Chain A
Amino acid sequence: MESCNCIEPQWPADELLMKYQYISDFFIALAYFSIPLELIYFVKKSAVFPYRWVLVQFGAFIVLCGATHLINLWTFNMHSRTVAIVMTTAKVLTAVVSCATALMLVHIIPDLLSVKTRELFLKNKAAELDREMGLIRTQEETGRHVRMLTHEIRSTLDRHTILKTTLVELGRTLALEECALWMPTRTGLELQLSYTLRQQNPVGYTVPIQLPVINQVFSSNHAVKISPNCPVARLRPLAGKYMPGEVVAVRVPLLHLSNFQINDWPELSTKRYALMVLMLPSDSARQWHVHELELVEVVADQVAVALSHAAILEESMRARDLLMQQNIALDSARREAETAIRARNDFLAVMNHEMRTPMHAIIALSSLLQETELTPEQRLMVETILKSSNLLATLINDVLDLSRLEDGSLQLQIGTFNLHAVFREVLNLIKPIASVKKLLVALNLAPDLPEYAVGDEKRLMQTLLNVVGNAVKFTKEGNISITGFVAKSESLRDSRAPEFFPVPIENHFYLRVQVRDSGSGISPQDIPNLFTKFAQNQAIALRNSSGSGLGLAICKRFVNLMEGHIWIESEGLGKGCTAIFIVKLGIPEHSNDSNLSFIPKMPVHGQTNFPGLKVLVMDENGVSRSVTKGLLLHLGCDVMTVSSVEECFQVVSHEHQVVFMDVCVPGIDGYEVAVHIHDKFTRRHERPLIVALTGSTDNLTKDNCMRVGMDGVILKPVSLEKMRSVLSDLLEHRVLFESM
């Protein structure tokens, strides 16, 4: 053999080592071939794998490595050149791929690592969200519980039910061991255990209100954790063996009804509080959570509101009951009063007739008896009988009148009457008595007092007569003055009559009458009693046997009916007194006064114009003629002027109603004209009126004028007004003789 190209490997004699290497390489190749297969298989199975390219590379790298090792198997022994080439190729490829892969891994591995980080982050987030959701759920639960509790609490207006329900529902919601309510006592110095959840009838434990723990709770509107050992929390013997549950206390404001003010809500410092104590079950590891505390606070507020509503309701129920009772009482009182009035009216109606009849009989027969022959003793007796029976009759009349007045069944009889005549008549009635007592009576009526008025004449006269009669009665000497005038608004208001508010109205006026006497007077303390029925002044009673004491009361009733006021002023005993009354009277219409004569206020105003009055003016003097013409023209007359007597004769006709002629021209006898006219017009109604205008003021002229039958004489110069009045007088009376 020559030099062959086959490489002769160095074969050690160590064949065992060879064998091991052979086997290892085989297995490595196997693994190297199976790993990519596995990878491919699993990647195919998985849905997501972002790095396929890397896988391919990796696979290629592994395959080639395997191939290399496999080919290595053939190189242990004598191998041909082909094998060597294949081996070399495989090794080269392997080198390339593995370097590429190595380079690629540098990029890929950080990515892969970051994936892991993100996964961790997401896990944390998920955990956090879970936590939050738990919280929200809890809050929602709490809200639901509050609503439910509120509903329960507010569904009733009964105090006890409200409180009981609160405790029960709270206990249920929060799974409490014990829940208690301490209410302040009436004194406000202690808290008394009023309601508990578990115990049926709580014994009246009380604790003083000034404990520091209680103050602490009362001073804040939050639920406060308190120690289980404080007096308010030691409600029952310890149930559990170890730790008592946590205790929370909250204040419940008690809104007292009187604290309600519309403008400002009651201040916190003046409120009274009750204490609500809640205990968690002992031996549980439960703690008060914030949301539970909030629940408690809300419930406490709601309870306060519900309690106040209940209190208002109680109050209004009580008020209503009270009103109903009062109503019933008033009703029965009214019915009693009505019965009494009816009884009285019946009595009066009967007595009216029954009493008057015998009375009249007595009076009539006694007067008849007086007329017969009697001994002086008998006469005295009869007179006394008559006087007494007259008195009795007056008394009966007064009583019946007054009761009718009080009834309100008396009505004024309104009519038009002569006011001045009323005064005069009263004066006439009183004059005889006054003159017997030698009293001067003076009547003074204001000039603006209307002569006629509308009102009740009879009652007004009665009042006036009564008042004046009293004045006369109680005056032993001196004078009496009666004044009557129209009251103006200032004098209407009297300080002694503050409740009298006269209102001036159209068609009405207030008549004020003052009757002053110089008599015995009245002391100021008796004045209020004057108008009360039957209350008689002792002094008066002693002095006079007549007078029932009803007179002034009746006057007062009448005056009140006439919407007025009556009162008496006196400065004291012996100083006289003045009786004053004001009544409202109506003013009569002028249109229906045809049958009444009334004082004409103004002189009858004549015509102001004489349209179409045909007038003839005769005057020689041109100036005065034109002046007179102007005058008459201004008054609307139809004027013709002549300047001479002849002309006058010619022109004058029956159409002319008036002829003015100037008679002061000497030598001209204007009188002729008058005579002529008289002759011409024999019938009176055809003849014009003849008036002489003259400047002379002597009686001779006047007499001459009258003699010749002139109808009037006027003194020159004539003013417009004078001419006007002359013409109107002339036409009205057909004669005018002015005094000169």
Chain B
Amino acid sequence: MDVVSQLQKQFIDFSSSLYREGYVDDQFSQLHKLQDESSPDFVVEVASLFFDDAEKLINSMARALEQPCVDFKQVDSHVHQLKGSSSSIGALRVKNVCIAFRSFCDAQNREGCMRCLQQVSHEYTMLKSKLQTLFRMEQQILAAGGSVPLE
């Protein structure tokens, strides 16, 4: 097998693992459908947007939860935002944690929220690194002269 085919195979394996392990869901592949000649880096752009957005939100959430008097409404809105973002990009695990997070917010459960925050943060970090790896692999394939295989 030449280099390109090898890289492509690796990419496919990695990509399938992401789906299998629930890091991303169908929405993520929907995003790939929107990528065309007019917006060749659509997915990467959206992902970067998400990363920025998520980081900001997580930081905000953390700050809000550190307050002695937690403004759960605020936290809830942040979580809501994060949920929306993650569902738009198809970040399944993050979204699921957000759902749980929201219920804790409604219950005004600080510990629960803290735990969820940690979980969210952890999931987010994992997702980020995975996606970055994925994008790197895409770049490698394109650099080697091949084309990125679709699902």
Contact = CB atoms under 8 A, between A and B. Distances in A.
A664 interface: yes
Interface stretch (B41-49, B120-128, B132-140): B41-49
B15 interface: no
A623 B30 contact: no
Contact of A624 (B34, B39, B84): B84
Please report whether the interface of chain B is mostly helix, strand, loop or mixed according to DSSP: helix
Interface in B64-112: 76-77, 80-81, 83-90
B31 interface: yes
A636 to B, nearest CB: 10
Interface string A18-39: 0000000000000000000000
Interface stretch (A107-115, A548-556, A627-635): A627-635
B119 interface: no
A664 B39 contact: no
Given A664-B84, A666-B77, A717-B27, A623 B50 contact: yes
Interface in A692-729: 695, 716-717, 719-720
B80 A623 contact: no
A47 B36 CA distance: 131
B85 A623 contact: yes
B115 interface: no
Contacts of A717: 27, 30, 87-88, 90
Contacts of A620: 81
Contact of A626 (B45, B76, B80, B81): B45
A611 interface: no
A639 B145 CA distance: 34
A624 B84 CA distance: 7
B34 A720 contact: yes
A432 interface: no
Contacts of B84: 621, 623-624, 662, 664-665, 695, 716
B53 A623 contact: yes
Given A627-B46, A666-B80, A695-B84, A622 B53 contact: yes
B33 interface: yes
A667 interface: yes
B53 A627 contact: no
Contacts of B33: 634, 720
A720 B30 contact: yes
Nearest to B85: A623
Contacts of A667: 77
B49 A622 contact: yes
Contacts of B31: 627, 630
A628 B84 CA distance: 12
A665 B53 contact: no
Contact of A631 (B34, B45, B76): B34
Contacts of A624: 84-85, 87-88
Given A620-B81, A717-B30, A720-B34, A626 B39 contact: no
B36 to A, nearest CB: 6
Nearest to B47: A623
Nearest to B50: A623
Contacts of A630: 31, 34, 39, 42, 46
A715 to B, nearest CB: 11
B89 A633 contact: no
A665 B80 contact: yes
B77 A626 contact: no
A622 B54 CA distance: 10
A522 B106 CA distance: 85
Contacts of A628: 88
A347 B34 CA distance: 84
Contacts of A621: 53, 81, 84-85, 88
A243 to B, nearest CB: 116
Q: Which of A627, A665, A695 has the most CB of B within 10 A?
A: A627
Interface of B: 26-27, 30-31, 33-34, 36, 38-39, 42, 45-46, 49-50, 53, 76-77, 80-81, 83-90
Interface of A: 620-624, 626-628, 630-631, 633-634, 662, 664-667, 695, 716-717, 719-720
5 shortest interchain CB distances as A-B pairs:
A624-B88, A623-B85, A621-B84, A630-B34, A627-B88
Given A630-B34, A666-B76, A695-B83, 15 more contacts: A621-B85, A621-B88, A622-B53, A623-B53, A624-B85, A627-B31, A627-B46, A627-B89, A631-B34, A633-B38, A633-B39, A662-B84, A665-B77, A716-B88, A717-B87
23 contacts: A621-B88, A622-B49, A622-B53, A623-B49, A623-B53, A623-B84, A623-B89, A626-B45, A626-B49, A627-B31, A627-B88, A631-B34, A634-B33, A634-B39, A662-B84, A664-B80, A665-B77, A665-B84, A666-B77, A667-B77, A695-B87, A717-B30, A717-B87
